[in-house]
Chain A
Amino acid sequence: MTSANFGGHNWGMVVDIDKCIGCQACVIACQAENNVPLNTQDRVERGRSISWIRIERYWEGDFPDTKARFIPIMCQHCENAPCEPVCPVFATYHNSEGLNVQVYNRCVGTRYCANGCPYIVRFFNYWEPVWPETLRNHLNPDVTVRSRGIMEKCSFCVHRIRRATRTARSQDRQLLDGEIQTACSSACPTSALNFGNFNDPNSKVSTMRKDQRHYTLLDQFATEPNVIYLAKVDTDRKVGAGEAASHG
């Protein structure tokens, strides 16, 4: 669990896997919001698709006791991020609000950060992103289109944070809990994805992270992610009994 305590905001996410239905609404919302290049068939087949948030599906058991488990995975915005110290040009750094930020115009494409990230949430642009001319109309002007040769990843929709912060400042008020929603959390029909400020003890995410089902991915690496997961509940599971699962 993260131990950061910045003076202002410490943005983070709580993912309740018990509510995730694997519907992919978050995935497409993110693609649209962040000008992620089109994942053409060729790129999918080569294993080069870019998806800042992805839903992994794992099988458990054989028919008729089959269970499918879903888990959304995006940049974990780690406090001890393995991707940050390895970048020779400081293209990735930790900002004062708990975000792991990627500076596109510094990146020289060494891909060290991708090698260092145990969550495999950093993506290299092998090709110049191309949209047919008319489709460029829907690109989001708040988000840079990344060029060939640089890394990209989930930004926790930092542009939404900036826009909302600017609005709040112009209205001379504090940001409200829930006022900022990332594209994925906004889309999620079941509210499995929840975004907010961990520095506010009364925020929804601060309350949720106290749930007894909370855990973080790969906590043995002590990366201290700002994404907290709440475990899936299975009424068939005998308490205290581990389960074996195969992934595909």
Chain B
Amino acid sequence: MKLNRREFLALTGKTAAGSVIFAACGLPERELIVQSPVELPEDLVRGEDAWYATSMGDFTNGDGVLVRVMQGRAKKIEGNPDHPVNRGKSTARYDSVLQLLYHPDRISDPMLRYSKAGNLVGISWEQAEARFQEALANANGSLTVVTNPLRGHLGSVATNFAAKYSGKHMAFDPIEQGVLHRAVKSVLGQDQLPTFDIANANTVLSFGADWLGTWGSPAQFGVKYGEFRSQRSRGYLIHAEPRMSLTAAAADLWLAPRPGTEGDLALGIASVIVDEKLVSSDNIAAFNAALPSGLAGYSLAEVAARTDVPTERIEKAARHFAGSPSTDDKSAVAFGGGSAGAHTNGSFILGAIYALNLLVGAVGASGGVTPNPGSAFSDISASATGASFKAWEEELAEWRAGNVETVIIRGTDIVHGMPNSVAIREALDSVPNVIAFGAVLDDTMGYADLVLPELTFLETWGTDIPEPGPGYQVVGIQQPVVGPTISRDESGLISNARGFGDTLLSMAGGSLGSSMERLVADAVSELHDTRQGSVTASSSALFTNGVLQRGGWWDTGEKGTSSSAGKVSTANKNAGYSDTNSLGTGDDFNLVPFQSNSLLDGRLASTPWAQQTPDPISSASWSTWAEINSKQAEDLGIRQGDVLLVRSTSGEIEVLAYPHPGVRPGVIGIPIGQGHEEGGRWAEGRGANVLSILVDQKDSETGALAWAATKVRVQRAGRRVKVPKFEGEVEARPVEPGVPVLVVGPGETAEEAEIANHHEYQGSLFND
């Protein structure tokens, strides 16, 4: 009889199982412990690994990471425990970058489109360089370098390169932060974003900014949140946002104001604090100085009516924020951003929110707002943000008019990120030379004349100045942790890519520097010359090694300073919304787009890990869904999976309905990140691009796109499909029927809560 492996294992297994049953009848206990007779694969760890420290430039606000490398291949990305920003912790995005590095659709060689209507065809780097030089020569001053907001030396190279050719460097960020920077500057007098001492705050009051998910520096804030919850007196979190984000879900008190009334809510909270004299008269005077128009019109009742937040909730938030009179510890901090600032009155909203810090004396205080210092380098800014939407409209008008000869694009997908109203495709078609860099094709490259394969941050040199930093000077050092990857069949490199910075330096003929490696070396040398900071060494070489090993340099002695408070912008206090009158049948909603927790603004959409990661709130993946209030959906006859037509004056998209109770009625929340024309096998043609239907309204002060001020009309398409989601895949394992997650009150033990739940359940059974 011939046994195959499975039959053999099954047979021996049955014999062994019998012995266990027999053993249970009285053999010594030690014989019941079944041990592996062989070394398991997991017992045999093979090879040595190396962990390289580097800075994660493009996908975070400056987190430090360690990359595990074995035999020249990057295997894992984790937080760098030594780095002061994220202190060893990660986000759900880190590892996805590995799949960008080894993406099967990674651009292998330069590609040229011989005519605007033609296809991209592969060319050599020599041909690409010649074409690049030709485009620069033809530009004759009409050149624009477009990038994501770049920090560190790469930003400096892009700016200097544009200046050398008499052009300009413009940054584009679809989730514009200009209003935030303006508010921080005008109210707190800070040139760069401050950080927030969440860990030591008694109360955190945030508006719109999903700081535990995608806003600012989520890894940094996540670490602080863990500490905030671990305090002897557990911190209290209040979050205001029309839909439930990760931060709203973590909050002790969630407020869901009407979109665009977050500023009213902030001043309503201030009004309660002032009326009840919950803080010192000095603090009230400081607050009044920043808001000369005063709190007239912001009484509790008026604010409750405008925001649709009940008065008792506003009062509760105010009293928590001002601190309990019975304790000395009143540390509190207020901050906002994201959808709260993305309105036509965004400057007023964020100004009012940040002014709350003056009311509780939070600026520069423990548990409050921590100013960040300027850059460690005289020629590198410590802050980076995108140009305003208004500036972009003006720029694109120049492109369409044929006044720009050459555009160089890197790190931002402007075709995907711009609303339809600016006709970005026509603008690109009007530019004779569009040169785009990237690792995987994106929508913008679909309109480029010359496509250049770019190395990722794991393969290049650079520096990074985290924003927001931890409250003192930090310079992250980015180093290549892997070399060019040879294909597994050894037929060649999987990508013959070059770094963006090095390509610009090369095209500039060395006048701006010989290489990024050299610029980084000079920067490190400059840091060494300060004789300060986290690394001390007797020689420049040792110092360089130390900085590379630690992933950067930081100087806890170089702190930011708080300056005199400014004023809240009150030029436009009332939000405006786009019109829906001409949009046909359907029901009107306020559209609140939000960054995907895994795809961000779409820059990771090409990777399968980012696509498959369940959204924390809906658990959906691989698609674009629309969150609407479950009760309202029921009233409108909308069910999960219904295909919805979401229409604005800028266009229409199709999304899948996902009703849930964590959205305020009248609001439709749609994730950003899908709807790509290009982007490789996992991104192309998937979902819908909500950014395309935004209406071109702007913050009246900064000209920033009011991306949360679009009103849409929603109509069922008459089809229903299955939403790809994790929810419902497994049954709940309740601690008591109806109680899947054990919740205790303050001071209550788990056992007491379980008994109380049990009694309540018994009571419900017998209708007590």
| Chain B CB within 8 A of A247 CB | yes
Partner of A239, one of B10, B613, B746: B746
B312 to chain A, nearest CB (A): 11
Q: Is the interface of A mostly helix, strand, loop or mixed?
A: loop
| Chain A CB within 8 A of B542 CB | no
Partner of A137, one of B73, B724, B725: B73
| Chain A CB within 8 A of B106 CB | yes
Tell me the complex Cα distance, A59–B43, Å. Answer: 41
Give chain A residues whose Cβ lies under 8 Å from the Cβ of B735. 215, 217
| Chain A: CB-nearest residue to B621 | A44
B41 to chain A, nearest CB (A): 4
Tell me the complex Cα distance, A235–B665, Å. Answer: 26
Q: Are A189 and B226 in contact (CB under 8 A)?
A: yes
Contact status of A132 and B225, CB under 8 A, knowing A47-B729, A66-B244, A231-B753: no
| Chain A CB within 8 A of B327 CB | no
| Chain B CB within 8 A of A113 CB | no
| Chain B CB within 8 A of A207 CB | no
Give chain B residues whose Cβ lies under 8 Å from the Cβ of A105. 41
Tell me the complex Cα distance, A240–B761, Å. Answer: 13
B238 to chain A, nearest CB (A): 11
Which of B14, B101, B218, B613 counts the most A-chain CB atoms under 10 A from its CB? B613
| Chain B: CB-nearest residue to A217 | B733
Q: Are B741 and A245 in contact (CB under 8 A)?
A: yes
| Chain A CB within 8 A of B605 CB | no
| Chain B CB within 8 A of A226 CB | no
Q: Are A57 and B631 in contact (CB under 8 A)?
A: no
Give chain B residues whose Cβ lies under 8 Å from the Cβ of A187. 78-79, 89-90, 94
Q: Are A241 and B9 in contact (CB under 8 A)?
A: no
| Chain A CB within 8 A of B685 CB | no
Tell me the complex Cα distance, A217–B17, Å. Answer: 28
Contact status of A59 and B660, CB under 8 A, knowing A93-B34, A233-B234: yes
Q: Are B90 and A186 in contact (CB under 8 A)?
A: yes
The segment from B248-256, B274-282, B459-467 found at the interface with A is B248-256
Total contacting residues, chain A, CB less than 8 A? 113
Tell me the complex Cα distance, A166–B104, Å. Answer: 35
Q: Are B46 and A245 in contact (CB under 8 A)?
A: no
Partner of A63, one of B219, B250, B256, B621: B256
| Chain A CB within 8 A of B749 CB | yes
| Chain B CB within 8 A of A168 CB | no
| Chain A CB within 8 A of B589 CB | no
How many of chain B's residues touch chain A, expressed as a range? 35 or more
1/0 per position for B109-130, CB-CB distance to A under 8 A?
Answer: 0000000000000000000000
Partner of A21, one of B10, B36, B249, B748: B249
1/0 per position for A64-75, CB-CB distance to B under 8 A?
Answer: 101111110100
Contact status of A71 and B254, CB under 8 A, knowing A24-B598, A28-B96, A59-B660: no
Q: Are B42 and A162 in contact (CB under 8 A)?
A: yes
Which of A73, A188, A243 counts the most B-chain CB atoms under 10 A from its CB? A243
Partner of B488, one of A51, A88, A133: A133
Contact status of A28 and B745, CB under 8 A, knowing A94-B34, A158-B42, A242-B760: no
1/0 per position for B718-737, CB-CB distance to A under 8 A?
Answer: 00001011111111111110
Give chain B residues whose Cβ lies under 8 Å from the Cβ of A119. 733
Q: Are B661 and A106 in contact (CB under 8 A)?
A: no
Give chain B residues whose Cβ lies under 8 Å from the Cβ of A142. 42, 45-46
| Chain A CB within 8 A of B543 CB | no
Q: Are B727 and A248 in contact (CB under 8 A)?
A: yes
Give chain B residues whose Cβ lies under 8 Å from the Cβ of A159. 42, 45
A7 to chain B, nearest CB (A): 12
Q: Are B750 and A235 in contact (CB under 8 A)?
A: no
Q: Are B104 and A135 in contact (CB under 8 A)?
A: yes
| Chain A CB within 8 A of B322 CB | no
Tell me the complex Cα distance, A191–B761, Å. Answer: 33
Tell me the complex Cα distance, A245–B612, Å. Answer: 27
Contact status of A29 and B750, CB under 8 A, knowing A19-B226, A247-B740: no
| Chain A: CB-nearest residue to B665 | A63
Tell me which residues from 71 to 112 in chain B have a Cβ below 8 Å from any Cβ of chain A: 73-79, 86, 88-96, 98-99, 101-104, 106
Give chain B residues whose Cβ lies under 8 Å from the Cβ of A13. none
Give chain B residues whose Cβ lies under 8 Å from the Cβ of A215. 735, 742, 750-751, 754
| Chain A CB within 8 A of B326 CB | no
Contact status of A120 and B731, CB under 8 A, knowing A22-B616, A45-B724, A134-B102: yes
Give chain A residues whose Cβ lies under 8 Å from the Cβ of B52. none
Tell me the complex Cα distance, A192–B626, Å. Answer: 30
Tell me the complex Cα distance, A232–B744, Å. Answer: 6
Tell me the complex Cα distance, A93–B747, Å. Answer: 39
What are 8 A-to-B residue pairs whose CB atoms are below 8 Å? A25-B92, A28-B93, A64-B313, A134-B104, A189-B225, A213-B750, A232-B741, A235-B234
Known: A45-B722, A67-B249, A229-B742. 11 other contacts (CB 8 A): A32-B609, A41-B724, A59-B660, A63-B661, A71-B740, A141-B70, A166-B45, A189-B219, A231-B742, A233-B746, A237-B743
Which 3 pairs of residues, A with B, have the shortest CB-CB distance? Answer: A189-B222, A89-B13, A242-B760
Interface residues of B (CB under 8 A from A): 6, 9-10, 12-14, 16-17, 20, 33-36, 40-47, 70, 73-79, 86, 88-96, 98-99, 101-104, 106, 212-213, 218-219, 222-223, 225-226, 229-230, 234, 236, 244, 246-247, 249-250, 252, 254, 256, 310, 313, 485, 487-489, 494, 597-598, 608-609, 611-614, 616-617, 619, 621-623, 629-631, 660-665, 722, 724-736, 738-754, 756-761, 764
